[in-house]
Amino acid sequence: MAKRDYYEILGVPRDADDEAIKKAYRKLALKFHPDKNPGNKAAEESFKELGEAYEALSDPQKRAAYDQYGHAAFDARARAGRGFGGGGFHDPFEIFREVFGGGGSIFDDFFGSRHDPTQPQRGDDLRYDLEISFEEAALGCEKEVTVTKPEPCETCEGSGVEAGSRTKTCPTCHGRGQVITARGIFSIAQTCPNCQGAGRVIEKPCKSCHGAGRHDRSSKIKLRIPAGVDTGSRLRSAGKGEAGLRGGPPGDLYVVLHIKTHEIFRRDGDDLLCEVPVSVVQAALGAEIEVPTLNGKAAIRIPAGTQPGTMFRLKGKGVKNVQGYGHGDLHVRIDVEVPTHLTGAQKAKLQEFAELCDENVNPISRSFFEKAKNLFR
């Protein structure tokens, strides 16, 4: 079955800006979220489809590749041949959480279900933006980051209650978890501000965490960054987010990567491009030159008469595909450097050379001026 167009899935025109794409995703993701459509396989597929479409169109590099090549831009085998980057698509629920923010309780707010405040609650997910060097992204590396986040209180083990104390019925809502406010002929039920809807309050809160059950603590987290990642790549570290409440599981940590630019290399998917200067003599007579690669130097032979802008390809010398489909290529662009700051003797030699030249020495110039003559006939 042919895949649907990403713009069609989101219901936006092909020239839609980032804000329009995000707005369309938010609206449709809420409509088709599985929590709102339990047991509805069609809605679940639509939700996955929306996540894939949004991830592709919200990333400038992926969007440019999709606009040029369509779905083939993200086909693993095609990408390995063309040098596309990207690394596939992420869990649609990860994308949903990143767009809307927060952890588990956000779904209750959107889909109208009440979270039982007395039950264990999953901790919120966290986002950490990490900048790494070009080489680290291309070759892979290990990083250690320091994250400050709520962790379970060691004194009360996350309960928020002082040892020997207990909970009692909330005196404000009398255990209902809600307070009723009369406004004219209407009565409005609101979450009790004293017990936060739990219906019970702590007699003696833990002195260390003041009853919260958590307190902020800095922790070091080791990350293994695979070779081939690019700006916008996301790494998930399970269970490294905020601690849960009342014994609930922790959230996850999502690390979003940002890659520094390189002084020599420019990246296009899994391919690399670099410009290598050569002298006029080398270009005219031919020479063997050294070019930089990610793993050291490589030698290439440029033939006599090489022109500025000539491209040479070193197969397999690009970036490793993040999904393991080989390596991209290194494309070397020749930049012929015109000499400057010549001495008198050097200028004389060049003038002597020019006097020895005829039209056969510069065939490109001859062809150009012959074409230019036709413009003025």
Query: What does pLDDT average to over the chain?
Result: 83
The CATH number covering residue 332 comes to 2.60.260.20
Inside any domain, residue 220: no
pTM of the full structure: 0.63
Inside any domain, residue 227: no
Over residues 121-127, the mean pLDDT reads: 87
Question: 336 with 361, same domain?
Answer: no
pLDDT for residue 317: 95
| Model pLDDT for residues 131-162, shown as the tens digit of each residue | 999 999 999 999 999 999 988 888 887 777 88
| Model pLDDT for residues 161-176, shown as the tens digit of each residue | 888 787 788 899 988 8
Using an 8 Å Cβ cutoff, are 206 and 121 in contact?
A: no
Question: 295 with 367, same domain?
Answer: no
Inside any domain, residue 261: no
Residue 366 belongs to what domain range?
Answer: 349-377
Number of domains in the chain: 2
Q: Which residues of 107-145 are buried (b: 16+ CB within 10 A; e: fewer)?
A: beebeeeeeebeeebbbbbbebeeebebebbbbebeeee
